[in-house]
Chain A
């Protein structure tokens, strides 16, 4: 019998040893590119071991932070955007941090109030991307978008930050009439994906000719295929910008190491990788690659205040669900 007991003890011992040390960074799925590019550089520079935990889309990061509020398992949070940041702050999930290189961020309007918690590391306008081979005459406005049955891929606003940003974009454009707009848009939607990555996989597989994505996707197309294989357009009603932030989890056991990571995210090394990997604009002065000339822009900007979003979002999403299902 003793033999069995020894085996059991060794097994339990092994299970307990399989733990994690170092810094845990929560990010969303499409930030996975950091794993084999920038994370090894940070590890080499600082000697700090990093575990990058990718959790679906940014909405999933927020729910995991709420779940872990009492006993946080993460140190750094990468990828919350303005619509999620408000909730993260009001729930008290973040800790103030003072990266020494924060002054590298040129456009101060990108900062999230109150300052000191979140630092913008990239931003970009949302856009509708399309395959010109399958859609030679793309729509030009939100209204026209509703006339193309089963041709648009969108992300679930309840799970995905891109999906939520698209939803808020329509609210910013249509204000009180957004419900009517979504009723009209519904037949044009082929399907709803849980995140941007899943959506883009389906778009690239040719399942639908249009998808909600980013204005820089024209640049991606030019870079990846050497041509404008996929084009993007911003509906004439105006552009909606999404800003993504890095912050430190409240209750982290490694505040000093977490600060170093935030500094790394704002550093030249990290920021210069943003344009061609993250396909968003960096927030610090970095020379943009040639492909970025293919990114679409718009002179009209629409937005919605974080306070208004926070006050109404749950109600809006419940109503959205009623319309969609």
Chain B
């Protein structure tokens, strides 16, 4: 259940924006229920959307850190008569702090580079560097301004990454705990329930768009079925976009997994120093570089986009893969080498079968990120050449095909959710191994 809290993190940004407008617009669901929360185009909308997206990072990091606190420490504190607060301040707090700091930095970085949410919900006053870069490149074609922003963004995140690497890894040596033996405070239970309702409420609204017409207030599969009709596809290439998105996302995810595996095996910390800062590379700027390669050398967009996604997801794939690859029992590999196995044979017969669940899990997570990614195809404006699901969905909404747009968005949410569950099941299998 806890790992399912990560689903919102992988939700396509366009789907989130659509879910927000289904909920909060003046004709939205909440308004119809008599609850007026006019937050669209304000700082509140941006904050709520980013909290929705990135808070699962905290749940994951802090949850994992809490479980590694040795029970002996807690028991000793209990014997000494320490209450909940004393234990929080002296044991849990300090031990969880490095994980919380990491989550904080990651959350900061993702919000700092946010694009689709700020573009659509930011309104008049609010922008991120990424939105400004895309605006400068798409609208006025002010290359030098875009470059200045891109360098500023990269610099900030490079510094952030350097700070992040200063945080020590805290190892308490404790085995993961399955359950707390104490009953949680009522406040904790209530706030956890509210948090889950917030996260899943938005996911559910997005999913419901698949079969529920929010404007008419009735269930209907008609908009969903229309997505696959020939007439509709002439204007919005839904089927082509799904095929392209599956193709690009699969190839990019395979590439990212293999590259992350190879870098993960590298000795020393150089790979980490090289790869993690790529998180700060502006996607809008990368998009323009790829488009220019297409214009100058007529390189196929499919290939360029796949490469672009491989580059932009490598850091995530590496971060997910590294701990698993590092902990891989080297003596098996060495024994095989002594027996004369080539690198390829070692990979095929030892590493691949044993790490397969890890490969598959990372593959699905990268696939889900690429599936919903919006910045690259939006900035490149390639919808008529190589339609991808995210931009086709966005175009439907922009051209007032709200019902179809909500249905498509719901379907994409369902696809990402299903991918996440598959990936999670594979990770569970790895734990068994």
Which A residues fall within an 8 A CB radius of B?
15-16, 18-20, 29-30, 32, 35-36, 51-56, 59-60, 62-64, 66-68, 70-71, 73, 156, 158-159, 186, 189-192, 194-195, 197-198, 200-201, 204-207, 317, 324-325
Contacts and interface: CB of A to CB of B under 8 A. Distances in A.
Contacts of A66: 141
A131 to B, nearest CB: 11
Interface of B: 21, 25-27, 40-41, 119, 123-125, 127, 135, 137-141, 231, 234-235, 291-292, 295-296, 298, 300, 302-303, 381, 383-385, 395, 397-400, 402
B234 A36 contact: yes
Contact of A18 (B135, B139, B302): B302
B398 A63 contact: no
B302 A158 contact: no
Given A64-B381, A201-B402, 15 more contacts: A18-B300, A36-B231, A54-B383, A60-B139, A73-B295, A156-B135, A189-B124, A190-B124, A191-B123, A192-B123, A195-B398, A201-B397, A201-B398, A205-B402, A325-B125
Contacts of B302: 15, 18
Contacts of B124: 186, 189-192, 324
B295 A68 contact: yes
A15 B300 contact: yes
Nearest to A64: B381
A324 B295 CA distance: 34
Nearest to A198: B398
A210 B303 CA distance: 44
Nearest to B139: A159
A20 B385 contact: yes
Contacts of A192: 123-124
A201 B399 contact: yes
19 contacts: A18-B300, A19-B300, A35-B235, A36-B231, A60-B138, A60-B381, A63-B138, A63-B139, A63-B141, A67-B141, A68-B295, A70-B295, A71-B296, A156-B135, A159-B135, A186-B124, A195-B398, A197-B398, A207-B26
Q: Give the dominant DSSP class at A's interface.
A: mixed
Contacts of B292: 67
B234 to A, nearest CB: 5
B127 A325 contact: yes
A43 to B, nearest CB: 12
B138 A159 contact: yes
Contact of B138 (A18, A56, A71, A190): A56
A153 to B, nearest CB: 10
* Max chain A C-beta neighbours (<10 A), residue from B119, B124, B141, B383: B124
Given A15-B300, A71-B295, A63 B135 contact: no
A158 B398 contact: no
B22 to A, nearest CB: 10
A64 B379 CA distance: 11
B287 to A, nearest CB: 12
A191 B118 CA distance: 12
* Max chain A C-beta neighbours (<10 A), residue from B26, B291, B298: B26
Contacts of B385: 20, 51, 53
A53 B380 CA distance: 12
A247 to B, nearest CB: 18
A198 B385 CA distance: 21
